[in-house]
A and B are shown apart, each in its own frame.
Chain A
Amino acid sequence: MSNQRKIHPVILQYLHDLSDKLAYLPELEREQSISEVEVHLQDLYQEKIEQGVDIDLAAHEIVNNFLSVDKLAEQITNEVDVMQAVNSKLSGSKKKNNSKAFYSLIFGIVSIFLPFIGVVFGFLGVIVSRKARKEILNTKEPGSKLASIGFLCSLIGIVIQILVIFSFISYNFLIKVN
């Protein structure tokens, strides 16, 4: 939950209750549901405040008019359960990592071990891992660690390959001179 905007205690209570009721959902699923409802409640609250309604009255009215914690939790849980059953049937119960994060790691490893051309893979790895990070930020899917390792490996690969290229050129130069 974010603290960027002050949350009225009544609204906070609703969110806490909802969080308790959704306790057995996967953590990510629960967090996402709570922040989605938080945005909604806060927007309604802001709207009431702008209309000049007293803050306590506004918070109470909003929570009273909102779907009750029990009902909302029950309905969300029903939908999530169905989704998980479908997902686990399709691809195992774990959520998949971001695919770009995976590719960035592959490029990173290749860049370390493949002489000369590895430098190209290193740059590709850097670009792909940055794209992966952006995607992960938007979709909140797993894979941020993978993207970071991919980024690091790609950087190491670039440095190693530049050194390899440099030594190769220097070696050839020295042989010519001798």
Chain B
Amino acid sequence: MNTKKNDQWIVQLKKGVYELAILLLVRKKVMYGYELTQQLNKIPLFTLAEGSIYPILKRMENKQWIEPYWQESEEGPSRKYYKITKEGQEIVKTRMDDYKELYQGLELMKEGKF
């Protein structure tokens, strides 16, 4: 029961930060879906089922946080690369600040200084 509850919490937490994680990745280098999934899967907490990234990317594209472009590839069909937009950069900044604040708040509560 306890583990189950714990798992659910992680799922919810992950859902909230996927977009931010993707923004942070494409901020450094343009990437396509497969590459992004590989990078996210390097961190155990961010593990993402293959294919699940596309609805997230679509959503972020709609919000104009990332901008796609197609590039020919020698190894096969054209790849859809994503780059961060100005709006995306702003989102990264505010969300990272929010997370810092949230974490610092929890730390303060943990230490009983609140």
Q: Judge whether A80 and B77 touch: CB under 8 Å.
A: no
Instruction: State in angstroms the CA–CA spacing of A114 and B95 once bound together.
Output: 54
Q: Judge whether B54 and A36 touch: CB under 8 Å.
A: yes
Chain B residues closer than 8 Å to A38, beta-carbon distance: 76-77
CB proximity of B64 to chain A, nearest CB, Å:
10
Q: Does B43 contact A (CB under 8 A)?
A: no
Chain A residues closer than 8 Å to B77, beta-carbon distance: 1-2, 4-5, 35, 38-39, 42
**Would A33 and B71 be within 8 Å (CB), given that A5-B76, A39-B77, A43-B34 are in contact?**
no
Which of chain B's residues 30-55 have a Cβ closer than 8 Å to chain A?
A: 32-34, 37, 49-52, 54-55
The stretch of A71-79, A119-127, A145-153, A155-163 in contact with B is A71-79
Which of B34, B54, B79 interacts with A76 by CB under 8 Å?
B54
The size of the chain A interface, using a CB distance under 8 A, is 33
Contact size range, B: 20 to 34
Number of A-B contacts (CB under 8 A): 85
CB proximity of B102 to chain A, nearest CB, Å:
27
Majority-rule SS of A interface residues: helix
Instruction: State in angstroms the CA–CA spacing of A131 and B43 once bound together.
Output: 41
Q: Does A170 contact B (CB under 8 A)?
A: no
**Would A37 and B76 be within 8 Å (CB), given that A138-B69, A138-B70 are in contact?**
no
**Would A79 and B58 be within 8 Å (CB), given that A40-B34, A44-B50, A66-B51 are in contact?**
yes
Interface residues of A (CB under 8 A from B): 1-2, 4-5, 32-33, 35-40, 42-44, 46, 62, 65-67, 72, 75-76, 78-80, 82-83, 86, 137-140
